[in-house]
Amino acid sequence: MPVPVPEGFPVRHPLPRALLPALLVLTAVGGCRCVADPLDRPHPGLRVSPGEANLTAVPVTQDTRIAFLVRNDRTLTLHELAAELTDDSDPAFRLEEGTPDEVLPGQLVEVVVLVRPLVVSNIAATLIVTAQEDAAPRSRVEVPITVSSIDAGMPDICEVPESIEFDRIGRGDVARTPIPVKNCGNRDLILDEVLFEPEVAGDEAIRVNPSGPIDYPVGTIEQIALDFVFAPEDLERHCGDLVIRSNDPDEPEVRMPACGQAAECPIACAELVDGADGIEPFDTVRIDGRCSTPGTPDTLIEAWEWTQSIRPPGSTAVLSSTSADRVELPTDVPGEYCALLHVYDNTGVRSCEPAEVCFDVVPTEDLHIQLVWDHPDADLDLHVTRDDGAPFNHDTDVYFSNREPVGAPWSDDPEQNPRLDVDDDSGYGPENTNVVHPAANARFTVYAHYWRAQTDGDPRTTATVRVFVYGQQVIEVARTFEGDEQLWEALDIDWPAIQGAPATITQVGQVTPFPRPF
């Protein structure tokens, strides 16, 4: 018999079996509007460990690092990861920068909380980690943190200057003053911030470079120096405060008044006493800096500062002084020489721009042959033979023992004969052989002989031969010697039949053993 149905309860009436095929066809045609179960859809994972942090014996004034691991244990990437501390967290807590904003499947990343208690106490904070809304098992995680601190020693910033006054410099110049910062305490001193606060907003004449010391622990009784810079572009007085913020509990902020003012730069001037024309190798050039003038009335030029900025390859010439008002430069090889001069007035202000004086050393002889080498003790010799003659022979060779040949079998015109200007027997050279006016069709061969190493050390040296024709360098060749008593046949020079025509220079490059003949 039928079972009675309570009033209001929906009744399901059975369908006749004949209607079931038609119903299946209608379902297939109309499509299924089924909704997947949300619990079966993939989610990114958000898990934070540990779930809480309780630290004891944390030293006051020091940074203690508390690391939490965020793990994505699902198959989708976790996005929108963020971390913050709640508003009621103790201000001794802060988040370390660098928390990533996503976590790949199976990956672990760190969220770091730093705590620096200032006094012995119990403090607390709450870390909130959040991610995208569909993160599982939840998109927001709260982690309680408690810290109990102890006094394990204190840092003490000390020996910083009470105020700073930059030395007077010229407008456009730069002054740097290292500012010492010492830790006289018994725990690490950490500089959290170093900056300069100018009296006038936007004034950048004074600045500090804090990149090195920031967050760098200064140990007990250690000292660092801040790079403090004054770079004025005007003559106004610039002032402000150098501010240092640190973990010193007694002086968390130190302020040092700092000022600087520029003056007009003195003007450096350098002049060649004898002019720049006709300077030959081994001429001594005189340079005068007394034409320099002060930039400010009632001041005087008090000091001179010379440097040699350019000299030719192979030259060993040096200025006679670096501090005199007038200097000399003994030249040695052809080429360009330059000297720079800075001057100082009697208030210590330096010239903003140096004076530069340059000159060229040019051989006046038609043929100039130069030998230099790079060993400080070695003795090498230049030989120039005529008509394929043998070296170490007075009839055919110009060298240290026959420096200025005259008469038969040499030319009766001394300007056609080679002449060696100096025999350098203790390193570097140069040795120069000159021919004022070589005879038409004259033939010369250039040799370098490694006479004596004169050292118990490494005898290795590299010799360089340069040839100048009509004052212009036309060739440079070099050869390295492993030991002494070696003869390098470097070049053949065939002089033209017509004056002013180019010479023919042929590289030979042959090295043979050649013992000292005497």
pLDDT given for residue 212 in this prediction: 61
Residue 454 burial (C-beta neighbours within 10 Å; 0-12, 13-18, 19+): middle
Q: Are 106 and 13 in contact (CB under 8 A)?
A: no
Neighbours of 10 (CB within 10 A): 5
Q: Are 110 and 68 in contact (CB under 8 A)?
A: yes
Which position has the token pair 């470097």? 490
Question: Helix, strand or coil for residue 103?
Answer: strand
| pLDDT of the residue at 251 | 95
Q: What is the pLDDT of residue 457?
A: 86
d(CA 81, CA 297): 67
Whether omega for the bond prior to residue 50 falls within 30 degrees of 0, making it cis, is yes
Q: Is the separation of the CB atoms in 372 and 428 below 8 Å?
A: yes
Please report the domains of the chain, with CATH numbers, ordered by start residue: 47-150 (2.60.40.10), 157-263 (2.60.40.10), 271-361 (2.60.40.10), 367-513 (2.60.60.30)
At 211 the pLDDT is 62
pLDDT at 278: 94
The pLDDT of residue 41: 77
- Closest to 216 in 3D by CA, of 237, 252, 180, 246: 246
Query: Consecutive 10-residue runs of the chain (518 residues): their mean pLDDT?
Result: 40 42 38 45 93 97 96 96 97 95 96 96 98 96 98 95 94 93 95 95 92 79 94 96 95 97 96 96 97 95 97 94 98 96 96 96 96 95 96 97 94 96 91 97 98 91 97 97 97 96 97 96
